Structure 1
Amino acid sequence: MQPSRDISRLLEIMAALRNPDGGCPWDLAQDYMSIRNYTIEEAYEVADAIERQDFDDLRDELGDLLLQPVFHAQMATEDGRFDFGDVVQAITEKLIRRHPHVFGEQAARDAGGAKARWDDVKEDERKAKASKRDGEASVLDDVPMVLPSLARAEKLTKRAAKVGFDWPDVPAVLAKVTEELDELQAAATNRQRHEEMGDLLFAVANLARHLHIDPEAALRDANAKFTRRFHYVEDRAKADGVAMADAGLERLDGYWNEIRAADKAS
């Protein structure tokens, strides 16, 4: 078996790995549920390579991500459900259907018009799915449960806003965030604090949407900033010959303020 630029070779390799006669024991032991988290992780690693602008890494991570649908499709082929060709057929049909201004007779004069047509087609698709399950279509349909909670909260509020269920402006959302913070402070039990913390985070995600900020990306950047600054604190303590556990909060906070000041000056 030799490497190739052809997708058919990847399909052949995956089939060989899953072959009960001489395949890989680990690959043979997997099922849809056992590899679903790998699918999510690979998507995050692609996003990480993009943020770092590391295009060699991006090429490799896209390959790792591509393996996931190939893996799932191979298992589905074995189960007689569908194969990789069906996956390609489905996405090509969807792209053509959602771009009538490109592949049909409709016209879209700008990106906004194209997005509006995309949303209209998606709404039709949601209604079609609802009819299959004998239910009413909801604007919240198709918001994946497996999204990170902060990202899902932002997406849920965005969907609700499309039908007018939304705060009128940023000050109104800020007031809601303050209200939720007050309720968290007033909570008397762990159960109440749990609920109020969720409400506060949901309100913050909604505020981020109103400010045109991706809350998941903002928190990811904050995590990266905290990590970088904390590494500085560790390095400063080491340079002073002080163990972190023995340094005391005042000293550690002094190190932290050094890197904060340096960041603001840069």
Structure 2
Amino acid sequence: MNSRTDQLKALDRLLTIMDELREQCPWDKKQTMQTLRHLTIEETYELGDAILDNDLNEVKMELGDVLLHIIFYAKIGSETNDFDIADVANAISDKLIHRHPHIYGDTIVSDAEEVKRNWEQIKLKEGKKSVLEGVPKSLPALVKANRIQDKVAGVGFDWERPEQVFEKVQEELNELQAEVTAGNTDEIESEFGDVLFSMINYARFLGVNPENALERTNKKFIKRFQYLEKGAKQMGKELKDMTLAEMDVFWNQAKTND
């Protein structure tokens, strides 16, 4: 691994390159925070994919892309004299020190859960009116639900045991089925949302990240379906012309190859 001196040299090199690109490259010169925003989101998802695939070389490359965007935003901020990369680094350093009194102060904690509870209480003391203020509005609904539940749990609004959460899941499923039977379209959507929300909460109690779990299933389904498509092609058939029994043969073969 590189020494701290080499790490700082590498960051200095990147800062210098960013200065040069901003001055000389037509594309880089015209970018704003608004034009970079959607690209940053895309890069973050690509990093997430690499992490799920456990492709560490790709993680390294995608982290570089995300770091570039951080440097880019800081460069733009410096051009308007609002902030630069030092301000960004110092701000997060100050926040980390303030929110870790068990490291930089005399607070004593017993485990990671107590650290999380203290974190939320400290943020409220900083002026936040709600523990949910920090949940981005633009988060995908599944991720947002997980963050909402995690944050309110941090201030004690939570179930005590996984069995209680599972009972809630069953209750919500029963309510959904009742609305399906009654044919109440609007209520079906509402109750379906309640089922998903309760399942996400149950995942948290099981120590499962629901986003990762669903994406793992997505990848598994894609792999199996593409195996099915390949098998159909080898038979000289279109999927629409195959019976379900014929499809099941390839699907079951795909499952054995997982």
Q: Could you say if the C-alpha distance between residues 5 and 53 of structure 1 is closer, same or farther in structure 2, counting changes exceeding 3 Å?
A: farther
Counterpart in 2 of 1:148?
140
Instruction: Give SS of 2:126's match.
Output: helix
What's the offset of the Cα at 1:99?
3.2
Using the alignment, how far apart are the partners of 2:51 and 2:122 within structure 1? 33
Which piece of structure 1 moves more, 67-76 or 94-103? 94-103
What's the offset of the Cα at 1:89?
0.7
Counterpart in 1 of 2:169?
177
Match status 1:127 vs 2:128: no
Q: Is the 8 A contact 1:151 1:216 kept in 2?
A: yes
Q: Could you say if the C-alpha distance between residues 103 and 162 of structure 1 is closer, same or farther in structure 2, counting changes exceeding 3 Å?
A: closer
- Superposed, 1:1-266 pairs within 5 Å as 5-19=9-23, 22-25=24-27, 27-106=28-107, 112=111, 116-117=114-115, 119-130=117-128, 137-185=129-177, 186-187=179-180, 188-260=183-255, 262=256
For 1:98-139, what per-residue CA distance to the aligned partner results, in whole angstroms no more than 9, with x for missing partners?
33444445566x6x1x66346424422333133xxxxxx322
Q: Could you say if the C-alpha distance between residues 35 and 195 of structure 1 is closer, same or farther in structure 2, counting changes exceeding 3 Å?
A: farther
For 1:61-99, what per-residue CA distance to the aligned partner results, in whole angstroms no more than 9, with x for missing partners?
111010111121122222332111100111121222233
Amino acid at match of 2:141: S
Gaps in structure 2 of 5+ consecutive residues: 1-7
Larger RCO: 1 or 2 (CA < 8 Å, sep 6+): 2
What's the offset of the Cα at 1:217?
0.8
Q: Is the 8 A contact 1:98 1:118 kept in 2?
A: no
Q: Is the 8 A contact 2:99 2:119 kept in 1?
A: yes
Which piece of structure 1 moves more, 180-189 or 204-213? 180-189
Using the alignment, how far apart are the partners of 1:67 and 1:102 within structure 2? 30
Q: Is the 8 A contact 2:77 2:83 kept in 1?
A: yes
TM-score (norm 2): 0.82
Instruction: Give SS of 1:18's match.
Output: helix
What's the offset of the Cα at 1:221?
0.6
The size of the alignment, in residue pairs, is 248
Q: Could you say if the C-alpha distance between residues 205 and 115 of structure 1 is closer, same or farther in structure 2, counting changes exceeding 3 Å?
A: closer
Q: Is the 8 A contact 1:233 1:256 kept in 2?
A: yes
Q: Could you say if the C-alpha distance between residues 51 and 163 of structure 1 is closer, same or farther in structure 2, counting changes exceeding 3 Å?
A: closer
TM-score (norm 1): 0.80
Q: Could you say if the C-alpha distance between residues 197 and 75 of structure 1 is closer, same or farther in structure 2, counting changes exceeding 3 Å?
A: farther
Which piece of structure 1 moves more, 118-127 or 196-205? 118-127
Q: Is the 8 A contact 1:15 1:74 kept in 2?
A: yes
For 1:121-168, what per-residue CA distance to the aligned partner results, in whole angstroms no more than 9, with x for missing partners?
4422333133xxxxxx32223123333321221221222234443334
Using the alignment, how far apart are the partners of 1:118 and 1:197 within structure 2? 30
Counterpart in 2 of 1:134?
none
For 1:209-243, what per-residue CA distance to the aligned partner results, in whole angstroms no more than 9, with x for missing partners?
12111111111111111111111111211222211
Using the alignment, how far apart are the partners of 1:98 and 1:59 within structure 2? 28
Gaps in structure 1 of 5+ consecutive residues: 131-136
Using the alignment, how far apart are the partners of 1:190 and 1:81 within structure 2? 50
Amino acid at match of 1:251: E
